[in-house]
Every structure is written in structure tokens, then in C-alpha cells.
Structure 1
Amino acid sequence: MKKILLAFGFLLFAFSLKAQQIQRYNPDTIRTITIDTPVANIRSHKLNAQDFIDAVVADTSFYKAFQNMKRYTFTAENRIFTYDKKNKVNGKVYRKLIHSNEKGAHKITYVAKQDTGTVYKKNGKYQLYTVEMFDYIFMNAYNSDFVKGDALPGDSKGKNESYKAKLKQLIFTPGRKISGIPFLSSKTEIFGPDMRQFYRYEFARGTYVDSIPVYRFKVIKKPSTADGDVMIKELTTIFDARTFQILGRYVDMKYSNMLFDFDVQMNIELNNFNGELLPIKITYQGNWDIPFHKEERASFLIVHKDYKKE
């Protein structure tokens, strides 16, 4: 139970703007997009909300974009900030890495590496579970089970892999029911018959990274919906208007009860390189708190660039 809550907490952060020393990274896909019109009529584009819902639920390409990285050399820049209870920065992690594969073996070359403040415990492990899970999902992931095979997250077996699988499901297959999360499993199924009543849909057209025509489909909590009825406040998905591939995903989640308290925003953006989707930016921020565990506050930015096919 504790492992599930801690892994879940990696995504579930309560974010505050008070007394910050720096501006946290704003995980908002919309900032990378120029919107033609604030809100458009879906039907006028010969589409309806169900078309977008079906695409979100059935999509596998978003997850496979991360698997595609194993065939490329690329540069990654990772910045992590951790915060104290007054929301002042107390730890910083910076990594600039070159990922490559030599004779089929994954290799990481450190171009720059700097840690300051409260990052590690005396035993050498990270102070925050958030940072540990960051390493698992977005760093060691490149030569771990993350890139093996074509299975979607959720197929892992065993207790140690179960909570990691739930975390990956939240990131890569939002909108589906995720079993095993106390009090929240049913609330992740936002397109199901029990949850759909709590949301409204918005549609707009725009341009992504200056040249790609896109649709922006938002699933947003209705103003009349009580906070306790939902966990996901917003799920924004960016579709390539030419192919209907998913290029971006923004998730805003918030929930509070006696077991945990969180409010997280996370954004993942992809782009097409030589016909393959690959990640280009991941941003995350917030805090989370569960009983008998230190409250965690963090934000991070991951940028991938200079992809070259090997």
C-alpha cells in the first residue's frame, strides 16, 4: 500500500506560488501552441467529442515514442528543483547527457553534472522519492524494462513492478481505470459512464512548434462538480491535424483526503523525426503529502534534442 501511494505521489503534487525563489516550470502544452480561435465548434470540422475520446483511449503511439529513443543518439538536459515547506528551493539537480548505443548496448555520457543543496541522504539515496521515480521513468528508463517489447504499461508482474506499472499507466494511458489505487481507481476512468457527467469538452485549432497544424481537445471539470467527485481536473491532448497522432498531453490532478493530499501538473510533448514520434519536452511541478512520510515538493524540466538515427 505504501509503495503504491508513494509511486502515485510522484505525479500527485500540491503546487503553490507563495514565497518562491524561482519561477517553477509551467507544464503547459498550450504555451507551445498558437491557437487560431479560443474555442471552435467540433462538428464544423466533421468531428465530435467521441472521435477524440476514442483516439485518447486507444492510443499506443504516445508510449511507443519513448521506446523509439533506443534507436537514436540524442542529448538530454534535466533540471530538478526541490523545495522546503516555505516553498524555497533547497535542492537542485542538473544533468546534461548524451544517450547513444554502441554495438546494441546503451551508453550515457555525462557532459555536465551538478547537485547542490539537500538532494541525497547519508546513505547516498535521494532525499525525495519523487527524484528517485524521476530517475526510473525518465533516465534509467532508457536501458530498462521501459523500452522492452511493445506492451503497454500495466503488464508488469510482481509487487515491486506493480506500483511502477500504475505510475506509467497514469502518464501514458490516462482516462482508463487503474486498479489498486485506494479510493481513486474509479476516478481515473474519466470517459466511463460514472465519471463523464462531471466533465465538459472544449475544442480548438492551432499551430504547434511553429508549423504543425493541430487540434487541441480539452476535458475539463465542470464548475458545478465538487472537488471530491473527481481526481483529474483537466486532460488536454494535442493531435496532429494531418495524421491524428497525439503530439502533446497535459494533465492537471488534484485530490485530498485523510490518506493523501496532492495537486499536480505534468506535460509531455513529442515531435516527428524521420517518420517516428520522439519526446522533446517533459515538465512537472507540485507537492504531495501522505501520513508518516515527508512532504515532497519539486519541479523539473527535461528537454531532448539533436536526435540522430543510429
Structure 2
Amino acid sequence: MKKLLLSIAFMLTGFCALHAQEIKRFNPDTIKSVVIDTAVVNIKSHKLNAQDFIDAVLADTSFYKAFHNMKGYDFIAENRIYTFDKKNKVDGKIYRKIHHGDVNGKHVIETLAKRDSGNVYKKNGKYQLYTVEMFDYIFQNAYNSDFSAGEGLPGGGKNESYKDKLKTLIFRPGTKVTGIPFLSSKTEIFGKDMREYYLYQFARGTYLDSIPVYRFKVIRKPSTSDDDVMINEMTTIFDTRTFQILGRYIDMKFSNMFFDFNVQMNLELNSYNGTLLPAKISYQGNWNVPFHKEERAAFLILHKGYKKE
């Protein structure tokens, strides 16, 4: 039962929080990379409506494929990870500078720099925190994740692994993630039962100084009770020229007798010679389940220097 609760809690968000305290490090927010032209946009003047954005979010595959596309590129990943104690003081630091490249037709990972300090590893050499291990799996591809196996999106079947459920939550937000007690329906924020809890906001702006974008923000209504929703906000950045998704920010929080979490995560893409690839991933949050040590962590992952292999 203990392992089941732990797996459910981590699978749900990968990274969760016990309290609503903000860890002021790598505070993730897509909007910080976007200069907004106006606070309010009459989206109808652009011949668009809320359903157009919802349909694009639910149908999008390019965001997931951007991570799959990494397998075909030579690039540098610079990763900074901090873990925190109960007083939100740093108790562990991990730094990696990693070269992803090609040797004789095979993708290889070479560590260029490595610095660890504090409470990072167990005696058996594994990470102290499941948070770090799962983040490694999802985004750094250290454990041969299925980004290398094909371009299919993670599904929603009964037998999908906890890791696949996590991928579904990250790469297919707004869809139902099955098999999560008490929370499966709360991930389906565009469904008929959840729409009443949310407001939609639109803005136009510029991403990375040159790319014209729409910002589509889904925010829980102020009158909504804490236990009615799990996702407080989901912001998506669209290229106005192609309607491709370039950035996603998600803020999730929930508390019940099985787990408590409060997590914010931001993922940003950039186009390299016409191909979308990950540029920045940032995260902060804590999570806790009964009979297991609370975990608090913050991440900043930067990808740069992409070259086609």
C-alpha cells in the first residue's frame, strides 16, 4: 500500500508539494519569456475563439515530438537541480553539463562537467529523491525513455505505466489521465464537467524578441473551491504564423488524505532551421505521501547549440 500511494502521487505530477510555500528559485513562467503587447485581446478580430485554442491544445503533437526530435541532434544540456529541507533551505545541489552527440550512428551522452554537494545520493548510489530520478527519466533521457522509440504520444490505456501517465499529464494536458484515484477527471479541464470552473484569457505578444505569439491562459475561477480542481492554471504560447505551440506553463495543486502537492512547471521550445526543439525546462515544487519523506526540489534545464547529426 505504501508503494502504491507513493507511485500514484509521483505519477500524478512527477513533482509535488505539501505546502503552498513558494520556492523562489527558477520560478517557472512562460510569460517571462514573452513580452505582452496588450493585457486584453479581442480574439474575434483574429477570427479565433476559445474553442480554436482548446482544439489546438488537445490535437497538438508537435510539443511532444520536439522532445523526440532531440535524438537527431548534437547539443549541450546544462542542468541545475536543487533540493530543499523542510525549512526550504538548500540541502542538495546537482550540476551537469552534458553533450548529446552521435558516434558511429549511435546517440551518446557525454558528461562534460559534474558537481554534486549535500544530500543527493543514497548509499546504493541512487538519487535520494524520486523527483530527481523521474525528472531524469522524462527530460534528460538518461534511462532510455521512449522518446527514442517513436513519435507516438503517450496513451491513456489501463495498462500504461506510471511514467507514461506522467508524460500524458505533461504533453497532453487537458485530457483525462485514467487510473488516478480521486483525480482522473480533474485533469480533463476542457471536459463538460470541468469547464465551469475555469476562465479563458487571451493576449498577443513577442516570444524570444522576434516571434509573434498568442497567449492562451486557462485559469481557475476565484470562486472555485480547492477540492474542485487540480490544475490552477495552464498557459500555452502559440506562434501566430503557424499556430504551433512554443511554450507551456502549468500550475497544479491538490490536497487530500493520500497526497499533497503544489507544483509549477514551464517548458519552452525554439525553432532550429524549421524544427521545434526544447530550449528551457524549469520546475519548482514539493510533494508528500504518507510514510515517505517529503520531497522539495527546483530544476533549471537549458538546451543549446543544436546541430543536426
- How far 1:149 moved relative to its partner? 1.1
Deviating more after overlay: 1-10 vs 89-98: 1-10
Cα distance in 2 between the residues matched to 1:165 and 1:280: 22
- How many residues align structurally? 305
Distance 1:220 1:16, change over 3 A: closer
- How far 1:65 moved relative to its partner? 0.3
Matching residue of 1:43 = 44
Matching residue of 1:12 = 16
* 1:55-108 Cα deviation digits (max 9, x unpaired): 000001000000111110000000000000011000000000110022221111
Cα distance in 2 between the residues matched to 1:154 and 1:5: 19
Distance 1:306 1:66, change over 3 A: same
* 1:143-194 Cα deviation digits (max 9, x unpaired): 4322211210127886xx6100000001100000000111000000000000
Matching residue of 1:288 = 287
Matching residue of 1:171 = 170
Q: Does 1:87 align with 2:91?
A: no
Conserved 8 A contact 2:18-2:294: no
Q: How does 1:230-241 map to 2 (within 5 A)?
A: 230-241=229-240
Matching residue of 1:199 = 198
Q: How does 1:117-196 map to 2 (within 5 A)?
A: 117-140=118-141, 143-154=144-155, 162-196=161-195
Letter of the structure 1 residue corresponding to residue 273 of structure 2:
N
TM-score normalised by structure 2 residue count: 0.95
* 1:204-225 Cα deviation digits (max 9, x unpaired): 0000000000000000000111
Secondary structure at the counterpart of residue 11 of structure 1:
coil
Conserved 8 A contact 1:14-1:264: no
Matching residue of 1:261 = 260
Conserved 8 A contact 1:205-1:215: yes
- Superposed CA RMSD in Å reads 1.6
Letter of the structure 2 residue corresponding to residue 109 of structure 1:
E
Any gaps of 5 or more consecutive residues in structure 1? none
Secondary structure at the counterpart of residue 164 of structure 1:
helix
Letter of the structure 2 residue corresponding to residue 269 of structure 1:
E
- How far 1:234 moved relative to its partner? 0.3
Conserved 8 A contact 2:137-2:144: no
Matching residue of 1:216 = 215
Secondary structure at the counterpart of residue 132 of structure 1:
helix
Matching residue of 2:65 = 64
Conserved 8 A contact 2:25-2:298: yes
Matching residue of 1:248 = 247
Cα distance in 1 between the residues matched to 2:199 and 2:158: 36
Secondary structure at the counterpart of residue 27 of structure 1:
coil
Conserved 8 A contact 1:266-1:282: yes
Secondary structure at the counterpart of residue 161 of structure 2:
helix
Distance 1:307 1:15, change over 3 A: farther
Cα distance in 2 between the residues matched to 1:279 and 1:135: 15
- How far 1:140 moved relative to its partner? 2.6
Moved over 6 A (4+): none
Cα distance in 2 between the residues matched to 1:15 and 1:109: 37
Conserved 8 A contact 1:69-1:142: no
Conserved 8 A contact 2:10-2:16: no
Letter of the structure 2 residue corresponding to residue 12 of structure 1:
C
Secondary structure at the counterpart of residue 25 of structure 1:
coil
Cα distance in 2 between the residues matched to 1:269 and 1:296: 25
Cα distance in 1 between the residues matched to 2:265 and 2:85: 20
Cα distance in 2 between the residues matched to 1:108 and 1:304: 14
* 1:224-268 Cα deviation digits (max 9, x unpaired): 111110000000000000000000000000100111111110000
Conserved 8 A contact 1:198-1:230: yes
Secondary structure at the counterpart of residue 14 of structure 2:
helix
Matching residue of 1:297 = 296
